[in-house]
Structure 1
């Protein structure tokens, strides 16, 4: 009887240690590489240091593939491929007559469909129930694959010349800084629901300068910045 009781006690101790180890083992230790999908509505706008510029925001959308490489229990590199719509409205004064000087406000609506490659450092907390919270920061490299630019004048009778409308006004390469905060909810096993809020600032000009035709000047910058909410699932 004593031997049976000792065996039962030993079995209970081993089982309790196994359950505790299972509960505290982070996902990163068992799954170094994770994949997922996301959808990201965003508020996109044109940020400029031109004192005469007025801009307004547009609600746009993105989707893409997420890839995470966990190199430590609470740290990982995060990358993937995104397709995102970015842009906004930019209004600038344009001189349409020199003698006498006549200025009108010309509004350009810029939209770009871009392929972006993010590269982040992701830092996670330990689990609180089924939740883990994280912070991400890093950058994005983007390439516009489709673009549309339309112009509208505040005064009738003045129109943008046809040759100006045929030009591409969005630069071919974009570099961004990004930072975000969010959380992961474990759905069971290695599957997690992910949500985060991100601020994204372009480090390079996105709108090409065109002199007096559209009011943009080389000494100023015109960037596509945006704030996005990313919702996805990791496996």
Structure 2
């Protein structure tokens, strides 16, 4: 009985390993990003303009079924946008200020891809759901690595205006085309919704209460898998 059970377990593991498949590729992702804002009306934080950026990285799809894959990798992408707020300490009666914030992130996707059967010859649709773990590695404000606040005269590094960790929910869909025996082309759209309040300046340095800045990104994903 024990030998039969052991044989069954080994057979199952062998079949699982044989059916598992890892596909690795590269992608480039032009994107439109903006910062979602929230604050008391005293400060009136608003999203003013989106930012056009580009990212890219490595794709790793680990298939645990014919049409199901755990998808991860490593991405480098730009985020940010232009915000405005009312600064009560600038000028005699206060003044509205704009900031153009540019951020660079390293990201690790943690998602599942669901594939359809062929909708045309060698062509499948896919749907991607999950999230990502992100880390800010660089930043600019108004195009500069350092920012001098006109209200305080204090100079700070732009990268220090945001916290390093972030996380995002991710959803997307696209099409994948089998180009050769081991080569696939893909094209899709995805939305990345930041979960953390990334502000590390207005609350700490300016004592603005309850200010929130969160990332949002719409991306066009173009890639090739080998």
Q: Distance in 1 between matches of 2:81 and 2:197?
A: 14
Where structure 1 has 5 or more consecutive residues not aligned to the other structure, the ranges are 1-28, 152-157
Q: Distance in 1 between matches of 2:64 and 2:157?
A: 48
Across the aligned residues of Structure 1 and Structure 2, the Cα RMSD in angstroms comes to: 2.3
Where structure 2 has 5 or more consecutive residues not aligned to the other structure, the ranges are 1-17, 144-148
Q: Distance in 2 between matches of 1:36 and 1:160?
A: 48
> Residues 66-92 of structure 1: CA distance to partner in whole angstroms, max 9, x if unpaired?
001000000000000000111111100
Contact 2:114/2:128 (CA < 8 Å) preserved in 1?
A: yes
The aligned runs of 1:106-185 (5 Å cut-off) are 106-128=97-119, 129-150=121-142, 159-166=150-157, 168-185=160-177
**Which structure has the greater CA radius of gyration?**
1
Question: SS in structure 2 opposite 1:59?
Answer: strand
- The residue number in structure 2 matching 1:204 is 196
- Shift in CA distance, 165/185, structure 1 to aligned 2, threshold 3 Å: same
- Shift in CA distance, 71/211, structure 1 to aligned 2, threshold 3 Å: closer
Verify: 1:34 aligned to 2:23, yes or no.
yes
- The residue number in structure 2 matching 1:73 is 66
- The residue number in structure 2 matching 1:60 is 53
Aligned residue pairs: how many?
Answer: 198
- Give TM-score, length-normalised by structure 2: 0.80
In the TM superposition, what is the alpha-carbon distance from 1:170 to its structure 2 partner?
1.1
* Aligned residue among 210, 215, 233 for 2:224: 233
- Shift in CA distance, 97/223, structure 1 to aligned 2, threshold 3 Å: closer
Contact 1:95/1:212 (CA < 8 Å) preserved in 2?
A: no
The aligned runs of 1:100-111 (5 Å cut-off) are 102-111=93-102
State which drifts further: 29-38 or 111-120: 29-38
In the TM superposition, what is the alpha-carbon distance from 1:38 to its structure 2 partner?
0.3
Q: Distance in 1 between matches of 2:74 and 2:102?
A: 19
Runs of 4+ in 1 over 6 A off after TM superposition: none
